[in-house]
Amino acid sequence: MTPVPPGTRPVVVLVGPPGSGKSTVSRHLADLLGLAQRDTDSDVESAAGKPVADIFVDHGEPHFRELEREAVTTALATHDGVLALGGGAVLDEHTQTALAAYVAAGGTVVFLDVSLAHAAPRVGLNQSRPLLLGNPRARWAALMEARRPVYERVATLHVVTDARTPAQVAHEIRAHLADSAADRAAAPAPADTPAEQENA
Residues contacting residue 48 through CB under 8 Å, at least 6 positions apart: 55, 67
pLDDT of residue 7: 54
pLDDT of residue 183: 78
pLDDT of residue 130: 55
The DSSP element (H or E) to which 164 belongs, if any, is: none
Task: Give per-10-residue mean pLDDT for the chain (200 aa).
Answer: 54 94 95 96 93 86 92 95 95 95 95 88 58 68 90 97 95 94 73 46
Instruction: Record the pTM.
Output: 0.83
Q: Is 7 left (phi over 0), alpha (psi -120 to 50) or beta?
A: left
Q: Which long-range contacts (CB under 8 A, 24 or more apart) does 96-99 make?
A: 96/150, 96/153, 96/154, 98/72, 98/73, 99/13, 99/154
